[in-house]
């Protein structure tokens, strides 16, 4: 075996290692992208839940106020119960 042929085998081996590393890098990048997307979806889900809780609390406050106003109007004779 000549010196040049051994060098060629080393180059081929180095190329294979680079291809393998590139495939591993692509796989790692794909996992990273998927994880980032999943985290973004979870953040949006938590934000939507927080907004829903806030809107629900506002609705309860509005409903309580509405009931209070209806009661006061009834007491002053402006509203009558429908039977």
Rounded CA-CA distance 6/17 in Å is 17
Q: How far is CA 25 from CA 12, 32, 50, 67, 74, in A?
A: 20, 10, 37, 62, 73
* Chain segment 23-49, per-residue pLDDT in tens: 899 999 999 999 999 999 999 999 999
pLDDT for residue 80: 82
| pLDDT exceeds 70 at position 11 | no
Coil, strand or helix: which one is 77?
coil
Would you give the distance in Å from CA 34 to the centre of its chain? 11
């Amino acid at each position: 075996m000549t010196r040049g042929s051994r060098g060629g085998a080393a180059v081929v081996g180095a190329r294979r290692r680079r291809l393998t590393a590139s495939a591993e890098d692509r796989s790692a990048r794909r996992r990273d992208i998927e994880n980032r997307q999943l985290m973004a979806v979870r953040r949006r889900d938590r934000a939507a839940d927080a907004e829903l809780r806030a809107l629900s609390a506002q609705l309860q406050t509005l409903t309580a106020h509405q009931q209070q106003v209806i009661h006061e109007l009834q007491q002053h004779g402006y509203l009558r119960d429908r039977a």
